[in-house]
Amino acid sequence: MALIKEDLAGSIFQQFDFTRAQSVQVVESILDIIKQTLGNGEEILISGFGKFYINEKRKQRGRNPKTGDDLMLRPRKVVKFRPSGGLRDRMNGKNNIPLSEKLS
C-alpha cells in the first residue's frame, strides 16, 4: 500500500494541534516548496532521510515497446533520490528503533 497525501495530512492532524484543513495545507506547502526547488535545478537534502536531485539524461536510442520501432529519445531531466545511510540501514533491518523513541 502506498502512502498518499491524505495519509500524510492525517498523520499531521493526529500528532499536532492542527485542523484537518491546516494539515492538508502544510502537506501541500511542503510539496510546493519541493517542486519549486527542483524546478529551479537545486538539490533538496533532508538530514536523516536523503537527497533529491536532478539528473540530466542525454539523447539516446530507444524502442517503442508496442510496435518495436526504433526511435531517438530526447535529452531530458529526471528527479533522482539517494537515501541517507540511516534510512538505508532502516530499510535493510539494521536499525528498527522508531524515530519517536530516538527523540525521547
pLDDT digits (tens, 9 = 90+) for 66-100: 999 999 999 999 999 999 999 998 888 876 655 55
Q: What's the pLDDT score for residue 99?
A: 53
Alpha helices in the chain (DSSP H): 5-15, 20-39, 85-91, 99-103
pLDDT digits (tens, 9 = 90+) for 16-54: 989 999 999 999 999 999 999 999 999 999 999 999 999
pTM of the complete model:
0.74
